[in-house]
Amino acid sequence: MKNKLIAEIFKDIAEILEIKGENFFKIRAYEKAAQSIESLSDDIEIFVNRDTLKDINGIGKDLEEKIREIVSTGKLKYLEELKKDIPEGLIEMLNVPGIGPKTAKLLYEKLDIQDVVMLERMAHAGKIKDLPGMGKKTEENILTGIDLFKKGRERLDLKTATDVAYNIITQLKKLKEVKNINPAGSLRRMKETVRDIDILISSNKPQEIMDAFTELPEVKDTIAKGLTKSSVLTKDNIQVDLRVVDELSYGAALMYFTGSKEHNIKLRQLAIKRGLKLNEYGIFKGEKKIAGKTEEEMYKILDLLYIEPELREDKGEFEASLKDTLPDLIKIEDIKGDLHMHSTWSDGGSSIEEMILKSRELGYEYVAITDHSQGLKIAGGLNVHELDLKRKEIEKLNKKYKDIKILFGTEVDIDSEGNLDYPDNVLREMDIVVAAIHAGFKQSVAIITKRIISACQNKYVNIIAHPTGRLWGSRNEYDIDFGEVFKAARDTNTALEINSFPQRLDLNDINTRMAKEAGVKIVINTDSHIAQHLEMMKFGVAVARRAWLEKKDVLNTMSFSNLKLKGK
DNA sequence: GCCGTTTTCGGCCCGACTGTTTTCAGTCG
């Protein structure tokens, strides 16, 4: 599967061409092609073999050749050549806020600055302010940008972003000048990580709002302040952008600031085709505004059905909207139970009863208590004797709480050879079996794939948990052959998990969508280790929505009587 | 570099804010 590699190569090319000052539209062509290939749900080699590369949006004669070269050799001569002209550090410099291709080029040509380290040194030495078009203020901004770059190289996880955004929204909501307020940007699209936080307000008193915003107690620095747009940096170095528009433009602005960029470009192209102009204030026919108050009317004028924010990535939502085949996305209320959680029996921090009380609060019909298995000593895995005691406790609780069904389960370890950590006669006695990999992450694709497939083939395994093992910020996902895993999961009626933990979100949106298309059943779990964690379910549901999942695609939207777990 | 129900050549999304400029380029989203 070389889709990702090709997309990365095209993106690198685009960045180098930017610095070289190449034709803007040529650069866009590479970016667009990268985006197209990234969002393909099939292996690019299928297109190569069928000779249908040109059917992919944004791929013409030239890029077709380049794709063929990458698929057969694993690299691209053109990129290798380009890299000779431009030091690698220069590309990294583009990630410093305030440094764009033109500035990077200028700094490289005039001062031979080749990376962020040199950039910082020159700025400190006061060498930059004397360059043409630069000045004292720019030099200071570059230094601030470098600080941001160093601290903020990582993106925020969805939970942190949600917490920060709603804290600010709650405070601003109290202002009487605020009419409407919403999160926008990638947070509203519920991307798994968010770089900065966008908030949109409608009001006819923007000055008061901007003043209040920049004076919030969380704010450390004001980066920009105007009447329609202000940006601040919080004490935790999180950038928050606030836009204020009048009420008649709120829908247009919400649409525009929600993005994605690719979705917006497509919207504007559709407007142009109809002889209209679309911007953040509305849709215009000549001088006359014909829509703008709500997103719904904006889409309607473009002959589109309303598109949910999570789908706005230009990954097929326009075509589906035109054909009326948009999915009826799963909602948090559809979730009837959580099938992966821990208790004090293994490495959890809450008792089974505490987990049950919280689950009842969330309105669940059933839950599964799936503590670790015996081999996972570090996580307090249960031996067979302890399993018996735990089962008795669950039986007791099932009698005490008649309104929720408590399943006796385990998260059984898949060892480095692909064997399960309990024998079949133990697994057979469980109400539900979740299997997962906890070690051997560095094995080859073939071996890890085989381990997962053999777990699927066990007739008592119902779910594969966190299938790619990534822990955002500390561990990359391990490579698996998704095609093979999906096939095995589908054929053995094994569900693949979306783990709702903000550091996991595994499967991610792209893999989940591929799994759905391959006919695999998905289950959304929290993997909670304390009762509070059960609330993370909304983040897993967000991944599912971004993956176009409907209620029927997800195992734990079924009522208990319809669960139909294999081996039971 | 791609693409075509105005076009196989000449287009390719749009506007706010900043800083260094006397009218605008660069960056960002």
Does residue A102 fall inside a structural domain? yes
Closest CA to A369 of A316, A313, A409: A409
CA→C1' distance for A26 and B8 (Å): 18
Per-residue pLDDT for A96 more than 80? yes
Per-residue pLDDT for A501 more than 90? yes
**Checking DSSP bridges between strand A288-291 and strand A522-525, what pairing results, if any?**
unpaired
Give the nucleotide at minimum CA-to-C1' distance from A65: B1
With a pLDDT cut of 70, the percent of chain A lying above it is: 99
On whether both A406 and A511 belong to a single domain, the answer is yes
Residues 50-79 of A with CB under 7 A from strand B: 54, 57-64
What is d(CA A278, CA A268) in angstroms, rounded to the nearest whole number? 6
* Confidence (pLDDT) at A441: 81
* Confidence (pLDDT) at A41: 73
Q: Is residue A529 within 8 Å of residue A349, measured between CB atoms?
A: yes
On whether both A359 and A455 belong to a single domain, the answer is yes
Pull the structure tokens for residue A247. Answer: 């009420």
Q: Is residue A516 within 8 Å of residue A281, measured between CB atoms?
A: no
What is d(CA A81, CA A69) in angstroms, rounded to the nearest whole number? 14
Does residue A541 fall inside a structural domain? yes
pLDDT bin (cut points 50, 70, 90) of residue A373 is: very high
CA→C1' distance for A271 and B8 (Å): 24
Residues 90-109 of A with CB under 7 A from strand B: 94, 96-104
Farthest CA pair distance, chain A? 79
Pull the structure tokens for residue A294. Answer: 């709500």
CA→C1' distance for A101 and B4 (Å): 31
Total number of domains constituting chain A = 4
Per-residue pLDDT for A568 more than 80? no
Per-residue pLDDT for A473 more than 80? no
pLDDT bin (cut points 50, 70, 90) of residue A155 is: confident
On whether both A80 and A117 belong to a single domain, the answer is yes
Per-residue pLDDT for A57 more than 90? no
* Cβ of A446 near strand B (distance < 7 A): no
* Cβ of A507 near strand B (distance < 7 A): no
Final residue belonging to a domain, choices A275, A295, A322: A322
3-state secondary structure of A312: coil
- With distances taken from each CA to the C1' atom of nucleotide B28, the closest residue turns out to be A98
Handedness of CA A336, A340, A342, A345 (dihedral sign): positive
Q: Is residue A56 within 8 Å of residue A82, measured between CB atoms?
A: no
Give the nucleotide at minimum CA-to-C1' distance from A94: B27
Give the nucleotide at minimum CA-to-C1' distance from A137: B19
CA→C1' distance for A87 and B10 (Å): 34
Give the nucleotide at minimum CA-to-C1' distance from A96: B27
CA→C1' distance for A209 and B16 (Å): 17
Give the nucleotide at minimum CA-to-C1' distance from A60: B2
Query: Residue for token digits 């081999």?
Result: A375
Does residue A208 fall inside a structural domain? yes
pLDDT bin (cut points 50, 70, 90) of residue A398 is: very high
* Confidence (pLDDT) at A546: 96
Per-residue pLDDT for A134 more than 70? yes
* Confidence (pLDDT) at A426: 94
* Confidence (pLDDT) at A462: 97
Element (H, E) at A409: strand A405-414
Final residue belonging to a domain, choices A221, A245, A269: A245
On whether both A20 and A133 belong to a single domain, the answer is yes
pLDDT bin (cut points 50, 70, 90) of residue A154 is: low
* Confidence (pLDDT) at A182: 95
Per-residue pLDDT for A93 more than 80? yes
Handedness of CA A427, A431, A436, A439 (dihedral sign): negative
Does residue A517 fall inside a structural domain? yes
What is d(CA A224, CA A202) in angstroms, rounded to the nearest whole number? 19
* Confidence (pLDDT) at A467: 94
pLDDT, tens digit (0-9, with 9 covering 90-100), for A506-533: 999 999 999 999 999 999 999 999 999 9
Final residue belonging to a domain, choices A121, A136, A151: A151
Write out the residue range of the structural domain in which residue A269 sits.
249-322
Does residue A567 fall inside a structural domain? no
pLDDT bin (cut points 50, 70, 90) of residue A153 is: low
Give the nucleotide at minimum CA-to-C1' distance from A135: B20
* Cβ of A129 near strand B (distance < 7 A): yes
Partner residues linked to A5 by β-bridges: none
On strand B, nucleotides with any atom < 7 Å from a protein CB are 1-3, 6, 11-21, 25-29
* Cβ of A121 near strand B (distance < 7 A): no
On whether both A80 and A201 belong to a single domain, the answer is no
On whether both A145 and A42 belong to a single domain, the answer is yes
* Cβ of A33 near strand B (distance < 7 A): yes
Q: How many helices (H) and strands (E) does chain A have?
A: 23, 17
For residue A353, give the DSSP letter.
H
| CATH number for the domain that contains residue A281 | 3.30.210.10
pLDDT bin (cut points 50, 70, 90) of residue A152 is: low
With a pLDDT cut of 90, the percent of chain A lying above it is: 58
Instruction: Spell out a b/e string for A193-202, using b for 16 or more CB atoms within 10 Å of the CB, else e.
Output: bbebbbbbbb
pLDDT bin (cut points 50, 70, 90) of residue A246 is: very high
| CATH number for the domain that contains residue A423 | 3.20.20.140
What would the mean pLDDT of A64-68 be, rounded to a whole number?
Answer: 92
- With distances taken from each CA to the C1' atom of nucleotide B13, the closest residue turns out to be A265
CA→C1' distance for A461 and B18 (Å): 59
On whether both A124 and A229 belong to a single domain, the answer is no
Average pLDDT, chain A: 91
Where does A259-408 have alpha helices with state H?
Answer: 261-273, 295-301, 317-322, 352-361, 384-400
pLDDT bin (cut points 50, 70, 90) of residue A451 is: very high
What is d(CA A140, CA A98) in angstroms, rounded to the nearest whole number? 11
* Confidence (pLDDT) at A474: 61
Per-residue pLDDT for A350 more than 80? yes
What would the mean pLDDT of A3-28 be, rounded to a whole number?
Answer: 86
Does residue A327 fall inside a structural domain? no
Per-residue pLDDT for A439 more than 90? no
On whether both A302 and A441 belong to a single domain, the answer is no
Per-residue pLDDT for A40 more than 90? no
On whether both A512 and A376 belong to a single domain, the answer is yes
Beta strands in A428-507 (DSSP E): 432-437, 463-464, 495-499
- With distances taken from each CA to the C1' atom of nucleotide B21, the closest residue turns out to be A133
On whether both A165 and A146 belong to a single domain, the answer is no
Per-residue pLDDT for A479 more than 90? no
On whether both A287 and A425 belong to a single domain, the answer is no
CA→C1' distance for A304 and B28 (Å): 28
What is d(CA A304, CA A319) in angstroms, rounded to the nearest whole number? 9
* Confidence (pLDDT) at A315: 87
What is d(CA A383, CA A423) in angstroms, rounded to the nearest whole number? 12
CA→C1' distance for A226 and B17 (Å): 7
Closest CA to A206 of A174, A224, A179: A179
Element (H, E) at A366: strand A366-372
* Cβ of A280 near strand B (distance < 7 A): yes
CA→C1' distance for A8 and B5 (Å): 35
Does residue A502 fall inside a structural domain? yes
Which value, to the nearest 10 degrees, does the dihedral of the CA atoms of residues A540, A541, A542, A543 take?
60
* Cβ of A287 near strand B (distance < 7 A): no
User: Is the peptide bond preceding residue A260 cis, with omega within 30 degrees of 0?
Assistant: yes
Q: Is residue A236 within 8 Å of residue A242, measured between CB atoms?
A: no
* Confidence (pLDDT) at A480: 87
On whether both A530 and A492 belong to a single domain, the answer is yes
From A51-60, A240-249, A418-427, the region with the lowest mean pLDDT = A51-60
| CATH number for the domain that contains residue A219 | 3.30.460.10
CA→C1' distance for A101 and B1 (Å): 19
Does residue A107 fall inside a structural domain? yes
Q: Is residue A370 within 8 Å of residue A339, measured between CB atoms?
A: yes
Q: Is residue A116 within 8 Å of residue A145, measured between CB atoms?
A: no
* Confidence (pLDDT) at A242: 95
Q: What is each CA distance from A405 to A287, A361, A398, in whole angstroms? A: 62, 14, 6
Closest CA to A390 of A429, A435, A428: A429
Residues 183-242 of A with CB under 7 A from strand B: 185, 195-196, 198, 224-229, 239, 241
* Cβ of A274 near strand B (distance < 7 A): no
pLDDT, tens digit (0-9, with 9 covering 90-100), for A204-242: 999 999 999 999 999 988 888 988 899 998 888 788 999
* Confidence (pLDDT) at A148: 76
